[in-house]
Amino acid sequence: MKVTIFTDGSARGNPDGPGGYGTILVYIDSNGTEHVREYSGGFKKTTNNRMELMAAIMGLEALTKPCEVDLYSDSQYLVKAFNEHWLEGWIKKGWKRGKNEPVKNIDLWQRLLKAIEPHKVRFIWVKGHDGHPQNERCDVLATTAADGDNLADDVIL
């Protein structure tokens, strides 16, 4: 089953303000019918990078069976971690990077790795705020969630 996921994260007053994520899942069934689901949520105090990761997590966790996934994101932090094998290096070093500094957002990276396990995922970078329709829609979902009233607590911040 082939699924396309579009994601975006947003944080107001990054790194200590409210934030949100937006995710769109697209699946075309065997009859050629397109099915679209949208997900979003907001947090009281978070960072942009955490919301970028959360958007990808929510999309992948919504899948109920193994899929071939093209995941589009405007976050180089997310895309390069997989495509340039940053994650492999961090894990080999015991979740350390660079000058033996701890990797940020380990909780979400680990959750994302678990969410990926049953799937074959290809990460694709898209330029943000450049007219890509699904990326623009994800941005609206993320910023609307960040500006909402029912914000959750981010467990790390």
Q: What's the rounded Cα separation, in Å, for the pair 26 and 35? A: 6
User: Which residues contribute to the annotated binding site for Mg(2+)?
Assistant: 8, 52, 74, 139
Q: Which is catalytic among the residues 20, 22, 42, 74?
A: 74
Residues in Cβ contact with 33 at an 8 Å cutoff, skipping those fewer than 6 apart? none
* Apex 57 CA angle, 55 and 60, nearest 5: 110
Concerning whether 130 is annotated as a catalytic residue, the answer is: no
Pick the catalytic residue from 19, 20, 22, 52: 52
| Of 41, 42, 119, 139, catalytic | 139
Q: Is 139 a catalytic residue?
A: yes
CA–CA distance, 17 with 30 (Å, rounded to integer):
43
From 88, 129, 147, 148, the catalytic residue: 129
Q: Are strands 120-125 and 101-102 parallel, antiparallel or unpaired?
A: unpaired
Residue 8 is a catalytic residue: yes
52 is catalytic: yes
CA–CA distance, 151 with 142 (Å, rounded to integer): 12
What six digits make up the tokens of 6?
Answer: 């579009």
DSSP state of 32: S
Say how many C-beta atoms besides its own lie within 10 A of residue 116's C-beta. Answer: 17
> Which residues are annotated binding-site positions?
8, 52, 74, 139
Active site residues: 8-9, 52, 74, 129, 139
